[in-house]
Structure 1
Amino acid sequence: MPVDNSAERTQEIRPVKYAKAETGFAWLRLIGASMVVVEHSFPLVDPQRLTILPASWDLSPGYFALMGFFAMSGFQITDSWARDASWWRYAAKRVLRIWPPLLVVVMFTAFVIGPLVTVLDASEYWTDTATWGYVVHNAALYPLQHLLPGVFAENPYPWSANGSLWTLPMETTGYALVLVAGLTGLLGRARAGLFALLAGIVVLDGFLGATYTFQGRGGSLLSVPVGAMVAFGVAFVIGMVMHRYHGTIPLSRAAAYAGVAVYLVVNFVPVLQPCARIVLPFAAGYGAIVWAHHWPRRLARYDKWVYGSYGMYIWAMPVQQLIVFAGVRNSYLLMALALPLAYACGLLSWQLVEIPTQRLRVYLRPQPKSPRNVRPRDSVSGRGAHRRERTGV
């Protein structure tokens, strides 16, 4: 899951009547994380059923949400580079955003949940190298390790203690792509090259053919399915393009809804259906960015309750597996129980882990300009500097 929801300031390219863009992004991420919880409630009870919708529809709301996540990340992470084009500060910010919450959930799963639910006895569990490998591998992200010894072994879906983590290596690959693009000028004067990058990745995606039911051709690299990574990469690059051309590409709600309508029509018309997977990242990616910039201003007062989407996303599956372990075998009951519990975990992660670690960014601020380059107003009164600090510019 696309995951940088740290309320960084994005380009303000919407009328005043709408909420700030980061508020819209935060709400959409929370809605998307909830959609993923809903989707996972079905295969965790019946592995043959992958989505809440009938299989004949060939639609997955959760997969649509993931495409939106990646597009939003592409937009917001590109904005982070645009505001501070320092490779080491950029990398440090990404580390502070991704890893602290990840380390907490990985260690809690291995050291608290695991011993409670494993079918192995305590000595076997703690001496098994896979127990410690789960923490090391998932903390490194490459390669991921989905299994803990004997954990959830008798659940209907025994193949992963936390399958949601599978998108995080793809997310960090997107971060590396932004870094390379920034260092090579693709996010600056050579931004037209982003269209060549997008065209290339779309062609590669067409060859690999990943969908929500098929991880695509191309095998895997360090446990990451190459086809799926490329498919989500299309949405990520769309976000990059939309940021760099924010003054040129219109953010039209009508176009966003039309994109979703086109995707649905293409998906349900048999002769056009092969094109649906190509339309999907454009419909989901463009739509997510447009809706974020047109979020109702009246909802901004509640934004402190919606920044826990990353924690919700990475905690939801262990929570769901525990509920199934307790005996729940109805997908809708699992959904009803898991949504509020996962949301609570997300809020706790935001308050206890993410906010404290985000405060460390104060040490990553760019060095102030030399006196000869500072306007008199800034050097005398400090008002300009204060404004930059307050808005996060």
Structure 2
Amino acid sequence: MQRLADVQAVRDNNFNLLRFLAALLVIFSHSYPLALGNSSSEPLRQWLGVTYGSLAVDAFFVISGYLVLQSWQRQQLLLNFCRARVFRVLPALAGVLLFSILLGGYFSSLSLPSYLLHEETWKYFYKNLLMLKTEYSLPGVFADLPYPEVINGSLWTLRYEMKMYLGLAVLGLLGLLSGRGFRVFLLVYLGWYVLASWALHSRPDLDISAEMLRLSLCFVLGAACAHYARHLFLRLDVLLGLLLMAWLSVGSPLFQSLAALCIAYGVLYLAYVPKGWLLHFNRLGDYSYGLYLFAFPIQQALKAVWPGLQPWPMFVYAALLTLLCAIVSWHLIEKPALAYAQRRNAASRARLSQAAALS
């Protein structure tokens, strides 16, 4: 039996491939509402009541929780941790926001000078970049589409992602990400999750964010797997058992929790157990973030140019065009930004080691 702790440090894994496939699932899932105006015909929604895109986002948050907890443990300094997270998220986000503004300038019903000088145009840029509030529209852009006035509907998850990073940093500073402290945090979180889920199920009108419940559970499950890696064994029969439990819970209040547990275990199993030719994917780069960011505005543009476009053709064309943008984003924006952050963090750790040696 393979224990998670025995492979946790192995860098030659399938996380890049899993994130890539999850991003493609998001593009596929979005093709239905963007082509038809609603997501009710999305295949998985008709079957399980959830979409491929929502399950893919859950997988993203599991992977994030698993890897980011380990990043906190490696960084040693709060500044290093924050630098690593900021340079992973913001450079590509700035790129896609500028791309969207340029794209919107072509499709806007306003004249180009009016569009560029409109306060809503640059509010879209700085509010989304600073994650103060998710802004979806640009003046006069995509107003007549089946899914109107939304430039990039994928941006909403980034605010939750940053909240998870900030929460994890606070927990780390409080000493709650190791030993007994992590157990205390986990018990408190699970108690809050159960009570909040019960309250939301009983009173849907309560001011409780269902998205925060769902995504935080996935993030925490990923972090818990990283923390308790020495106790976790990667076994196919366990994965199949979790799949069966999730399947049997469809339509019940337990489905969301069991699905998240299944996704968390399944992601880690698929990340480490399959070997061979799959590992060659790592040579290509990590294109998943670019795929996730750029797809939505490209899909909207395709629908604007080709009004009769249906979901499957939209998915194929959007995936190909978005992949080109993702490749450019990785090699020209994301990879250099990550390399810069790594150099600065390495220098910070070196100074810290020198100071410790002299003290």
Q: TM-score, with normalisation over the residues of structure 1?
A: 0.82
Per-residue deviation, 1:329: 2.4
SS at match of 2:350: coil
Change (3 A) 1:252 1:354: same
Between the aligned partners of 1:187 and 1:58, the Cα distance in structure 2 is: 35
SS at match of 1:13: helix
Summarize deviations over 1:147-191 as a string: whole Å, max 9, x none: 111111111111410001110000111111210121111112322
| Equivalent position of 1:330 in the other structure | 310
Structure 2 residues without counterparts, runs of 5 or longer: none
SS at match of 2:234: coil
Structure 1 residue 313 corresponds to structure 2 residue 303: no
Summarize deviations over 1:54-103 as a string: whole Å, max 9, x none: 52531322211111110110010000011123111101111100000000
From 340, 344, 350, the counterpart of 1:363 = 344
Per-residue deviation, 1:233: 0.3
From 36, 45, 52, the counterpart of 1:61 = 52
From 136, 139, 147, the counterpart of 2:129 = 139
Conserved? CA contact 2:36–2:310, under 8 Å? no
| Equivalent position of 1:379 in the other structure | none
From 296, 300, 304, the counterpart of 2:275 = 296
Structure 1 residue 74 corresponds to structure 2 residue 57: no
Per-residue deviation, 1:373: 5.4
* Residue pairs, 1:269-284, within 5 angstroms: 273-284=252-263
Structure 1 residue 341 corresponds to structure 2 residue 321: yes
Between the aligned partners of 1:148 and 1:177, the Cα distance in structure 2 is: 31
* Residue pairs, 1:149-298, within 5 angstroms: 149-189=139-179, 190-207=181-198, 209=200, 219=207, 226-267=209-250, 273-298=252-277
Per-residue deviation, 1:372: 8.4
Between the aligned partners of 1:342 and 1:353, the Cα distance in structure 2 is: 15
Q: What's the C-alpha RMSD, in Å, of the aligned pairs?
A: 2.4
Matched to 1:347, the amino acid is I
Summarize deviations over 1:307-338 as a string: whole Å, max 9, x none: 11001100010111111111142111101111
Conserved? CA contact 1:41–1:335, under 8 Å? yes
Conserved? CA contact 2:93–2:293, under 8 Å? yes
Between the aligned partners of 1:158 and 1:364, the Cα distance in structure 2 is: 43
Structure 1 residue 40 corresponds to structure 2 residue 30: yes
Percent of counterpart pairs with the same letter? 25
Change (3 A) 1:119 1:280: same
Matched to 2:147, the amino acid is Y
Conserved? CA contact 1:26–1:303, under 8 Å? yes
| Equivalent position of 1:13 in the other structure | 6
Conserved? CA contact 1:13–1:293, under 8 Å? no
Task: Judging by fraction of residues, say which structure has more helix.
Answer: 2
Conserved? CA contact 1:219–1:227, under 8 Å? no
Change (3 A) 1:82 1:335: same
Per-residue deviation, 1:12: 6.0
Change (3 A) 1:56 1:249: closer
Between the aligned partners of 1:169 and 1:372, the Cα distance in structure 2 is: 37
From 103, 106, 110, the counterpart of 1:113 = 103
Change (3 A) 1:263 1:20: same
Between the aligned partners of 1:254 and 1:152, the Cα distance in structure 2 is: 48
Change (3 A) 1:166 1:153: same
Between the aligned partners of 1:20 and 1:153, the Cα distance in structure 2 is: 48
Q: TM-score, with normalisation over the residues of structure 2?
A: 0.89
Between the aligned partners of 2:320 and 2:192, the Cα distance in structure 1 is: 38
Change (3 A) 1:260 1:146: same
Matched to 1:334, the amino acid is M
Matched to 1:260, the amino acid is L
Per-residue deviation, 1:371: 9.2
